[in-house]
Amino acid sequence: MSLKTLLNKKSRRILGLMSGTSCDGLDMAVVDIHGSGRNTRFEIVATGHKAYTDRQKSVLLQLVSNQKAPLHLVSKVNFWLPRKWAEAIASFLNKNCLSATEIDAIGSHGQTVYHQSQPETVAGRKICSTLQIGDPSVLAQLTGITVVGDFRTADMALGGQGAPLVPYFDWLYYSRFKKNTLALNIGGISNITYIPADGDFSKVTALDCGPGNLLLDQAVQRMYEMPFDRNGNIAARGKLSTRLLNYLIKNDTFIHQLPPRSTGREHYGSTFIIKTLKRAVRLRLMEPDIMHTLSYYTVYAIHDAVNRFIKTEGPIELLSVGGGGAHNKFLMKMLAEVFSPAEVQTAGRTGIDEDYKEAICFAVLAHETLNGMPSNVPQVTGATRPAILGKICQGG
């Protein structure tokens, strides 16, 4: 399809891709999308997940958890990832009896390997930067499908944090509920969007709260050699250590930052967890108590961010939880307690499969880009103005 035809379409079938901070795999969602802004309507056609093998995950972790990874590795993985993704897409489409020619475009978030939202000096100039790899142009050539990728850079160029970007999607989706809503995503990092009952875009607020699954995953991997604390079972067996909790509250610089703010593995990666676990050993804590306290802290950071930085009009009626953390029953139970009497539900219960929310979001953001519509939320990211996000790379 020519780019001109694609741009002129009113409805598009878009494949959204997300490869998140957790490095667990690639999430895929084919979405039929029509309209724009609050008038956007969409229908999920198919969803799928392709897990990274241990070997692939260790390559990614070398990049995302070691800020000193060699440049040649960044460059190689930038080409290797789209190859891997193109294979995953081909089998996903095939399994769902879809052909690549039926897909109008791909919206690809890419894999964040570096996100520096606080300015640092380069040759006398203060610069923020973010890098998502898995080159969209390579992916477009390998799949034959036009790709919209690299969504974060335009917002950052305008003085924004380039994150979070889900709030635009949260606004266009949740404003239909006409309730004071918090849309929470617990991926590697947790972020939250407030959507007022009247759906007024200018009142939408959002920020990264702190760790999502990142501390929990790293702790459980180091202590139990399991990928994650399934359903929060280990945490549920432990008890709270107020001393470890207070240590975290005092020493985690991110939760004390004012918004706009965003974070990633740069902050909550291996250095952070090693220091925390050393402290826990000094406090002679048992493993379940460590998991319990880290889970408690994860919810504490979410609640604290809402209390301090989100001005709501009336009480919160609905808290919709997306991301893999929505499966963590222990986290969900604590969220229900601290946000009571708000109704706390998985995003799936409100019509958006929690495992694919971000993939669906990037399909919708790609659609807006092809519509020529901005999709950052400037009051959230700190950008000076709305921006049309991403780069369009034409497929075959």
User: Minimum distance from CB of 51 to Mg ion (Å)?
Assistant: 9
Is residue 231 near ligand ADP by the rule CB under 6 A?
yes
Which residue, 163 or 392, has its beta carbon nearer to Mg ion? 163
Binds 228: which of Mg ion, ligand ADP, none (CB < 5-8 Å by kind): ligand ADP
The least CB distance from residue 378 to ligand ADP, in Å, is 24
Asked if 24 is part of the footprint of Mg ion (rule: CB under 5 A), the reply reads yes
By beta-carbon proximity to ligand ADP, the closer residue of 294 and 370 is 294
Are the C-beta atoms of residues 79 and 127 closer than 8 Å to each other?
no
Smallest separation (angstroms) from Mg ion to the CB of 335: 20
Q: Which helix (H) or strand (E) holds 242?
A: helix 242-251
User: Does 224 help bind ligand ADP (rule: CB under 6 A)?
Assistant: no
Answer with the entry of ligand ADP, Mg ion, none that 230 interacts with (C-beta below 5 to 8 A by kind). ligand ADP
Site for ligand ADP contains 327 (CB under 6 A): yes
Binding-site member from 12, 17, 21, 109 for ligand ADP (CB under 6 A): 21
Q: Cα–Cα distances in Å, from 149 out to 17, 28, 155, 249, 327?
A: 10, 14, 13, 36, 28
* Residue 217 interface partner, choices ligand ADP, Mg ion, none, CB cut-off 5-8 Å depending on type: ligand ADP
Candidates 330, 312, 332, 313; CA nearest to 322 is 332
Stretch that binds ligand ADP, among 15-23, 105-113, 172-180, 369-377 (CB under 6 A): 15-23
Q: Look up tokens 């399909």; give the residue.
A: 363
Contact 16, 364 (CB under 8 A): yes
What whole-number distance in Å separates Cα of residue 300 and Cα of residue 106?
36
CB neighbours of 82 closer than 8 A, spacing ≥ 6?
A: 134, 135, 136, 138, 139, 142
* C-alpha distances out from residue 342 to 12, 185, 330, Å: 35, 16, 17
Binding mask 162-201 for ligand ADP (x = CB under 6 A): -------------------------xx-------------
Looking at 12, 13, 14, 22, which residue binds ligand ADP (CB under 6 A)? 22
Query: What is the pattern of x (binds ligand ADP, CB under 6 A) and - over residues 198-217?
Result: ---------------x--xx
Question: Which residue number, 134 or 323, has a Cβ lying nearer to ligand ADP?
Answer: 323
- Is 266 one of the binding residues for ligand ADP (CB under 6 A)? no
Residue 15 CB, nearest approach to ligand ADP (Å): 17
Nearer to ligand ADP, 38 or 230 (CB): 230
- Residue 327 contact, options Mg ion, ligand ADP, none, Cβ 5-8 Å cut-off depending on partner type: ligand ADP
Token pair belonging to 161: 């944090």
β-pairing verdict for 125-133 and 147-149: unpaired
Given 16, 17, 22, 160, the residue binding Mg ion (CB under 5 A): 22
Which has the closest alpha carbon to 150: 142, 140, 141, 266?
Answer: 140
Which residues share a beta bridge with 192? Answer: 184, 207
Strand partners, 319: 182, 344
**b/e code 275-296 from CB counts within 10 Å (16+ = b):** ebbebbeeeebebbbbbbbbbb
Q: Do residues 163 and 381 touch, judged by C-beta distance below 8 A? A: yes
Site residues for ligand ADP per CB under 6 A: 20-22, 24, 187-188, 213, 216-217, 228-232, 323-325, 327-328, 358
Site residues for Mg ion per CB under 5 A: 20, 22, 24
